[in-house]
Chains A and B, each alone.
Chain A
């Protein structure tokens, strides 16, 4: 699967399929600080990302 991350902007690849919660664990990210978006749709932590999917891990925390 292809994963787009921000701050800094970068693209990485992981072997799928994987549950969203396991992607968070693997990337060592706190779920409370991110959203997972596939296409234009949000994904919950129990959903599975297929190997051929592209997702965005979008940070939601701002510094102001």
Chain B
């Protein structure tokens, strides 16, 4: 298979675009797609300070690399979840990237350790509060990323969510008719109220396979191993279903999610009630920590109080 842009051998076929690229042309394509996403969704400008949420996996580390290569001012936050073995290995990948690549771009890595803050790792914490590990992890990560971005005055927080993540999440929300979550499923979420950082997903135009291929071509050393807690996660079932459809009809994931974004945009254009309006009408500062919440005390503080309570 030849590259469609030059005479070189292709390294990745992309049926959804009916094309194939060699390593250098794939790199150019991916970076252009990320730049296009940043502009199309008004994510940030070259002078903004960005905080990238990194896990050591392909998406987040690749996102950090791409933003640095595009010349953006991107630091990163790693949350050490305290999962025996897995957290040490993912932390090591992130530290190595920070040392070998990011430092020379003037970029720094911030580390938050769950065990130091909460007195227990994520698995023990989930058992203490009687909640599934993935949901406990989600609450902690969302809270800490927002807190660090807000306290350190970053203009925006970026996550490595890709087209597969967004299409699978959309499928899950539609299957359950969770309409209240659909409004929040945008590649850019505004800093709607005091205490909320702006949140963006610059990889939403790229599939997981394209991102992994970019990482291999550019020798980005990421953790291939899956989080042991994710085994059996519903998201994996949705992704598998979408990939089977994608094989039958290339571009399915792309059309499903982009079609949703188009409908979402049309609905927002014809409405005089924005997401910021609705957040400002429903969110108040948490009585304990001050982060915005719909309840008196936010879900993170309630969880921490429960974990530290002798009766639980």
A→B interface (CB under 8 Å): 6-7, 30-35, 37, 40-47, 58-64
In chain B, residues 21-37, which have Cβ atoms closer than 8 Å to a Cβ of chain A? 23
Specify which of A37, A41, A45, A60 is in contact with B208 (CB 8 Å cutoff).
Answer: A60
For residue B72, give the distance in angstroms from its CB to the closest CB of chain A: 23
Specify which of A6, A7, A44, A62 is in contact with B10 (CB 8 Å cutoff).
Answer: A44
For residue B132, give the distance in angstroms from its CB to the closest CB of chain A: 13
For residue B163, give the distance in angstroms from its CB to the closest CB of chain A: 11
Cβ–Cβ contact A62 & B1, under 8 A: no
By a CB distance below 8 angstroms, the chain A residues around B184 are none
CB of B233 within 8 Å of the partner chain:
yes
Cβ–Cβ contact B165 & A41, under 8 A: no
By a CB distance below 8 angstroms, the chain A residues around B230 are 62-64
State the interface size on chain B (CB cutoff 8 A): 37
> Cα distance A6–B225 when bound, in Å?
8
Cβ–Cβ contact B233 & A63, under 8 A: yes
> Cα distance A59–B230 when bound, in Å?
14
Q: Provide a sorted-by-A list of 26 A–B residue pairs whose CB atoms are within 8 angstroms.
A: A30-B240, A33-B208, A33-B239, A33-B240, A33-B243, A40-B216, A41-B11, A42-B213, A44-B1, A44-B11, A45-B1, A47-B1, A60-B208, A60-B209, A61-B164, A61-B208, A61-B243, A62-B57, A62-B58, A62-B59, A62-B226, A63-B226, A63-B227, A63-B231, A63-B233, A63-B235
- State the main secondary structure of chain B at its contact with A: helix
CB of B136 within 8 Å of the partner chain:
no
Query: 10 closest A-B pairs (Cβ-Cβ)?
Result: A63-B230, A60-B212, A42-B11, A63-B233, A32-B243, A44-B1, A60-B208, A60-B209, A63-B236, A30-B243
Interface string of B232-266 (1 = CB under 8 A from A): 01011001100110110000000000000000000
- State the main secondary structure of chain A at its contact with B: loop
In chain B, residues 61-98, which have Cβ atoms closer than 8 Å to a Cβ of chain A? none
Cβ–Cβ contact A64 & B219, under 8 A: no
> Cα distance A6–B157 when bound, in Å?
31
By a CB distance below 8 angstroms, the chain A residues around B213 are 35, 42
User: What is the chain A residue whose CB lies nearest that of B246?
Assistant: A32
> Cα distance A59–B226 when bound, in Å?
9
In chain B, residues 139-173, which have Cβ atoms closer than 8 Å to a Cβ of chain A? 164-165
> Cα distance A63–B230 when bound, in Å?
6
By a CB distance below 8 angstroms, the chain B residues around A34 are 209
For residue A6, give the distance in angstroms from its CB to the closest CB of chain B: 6
Specify which of A43, A44, A60 is in contact with B58 (CB 8 Å cutoff).
Answer: A60
CB of B20 within 8 Å of the partner chain:
yes
CB of B128 within 8 Å of the partner chain:
no
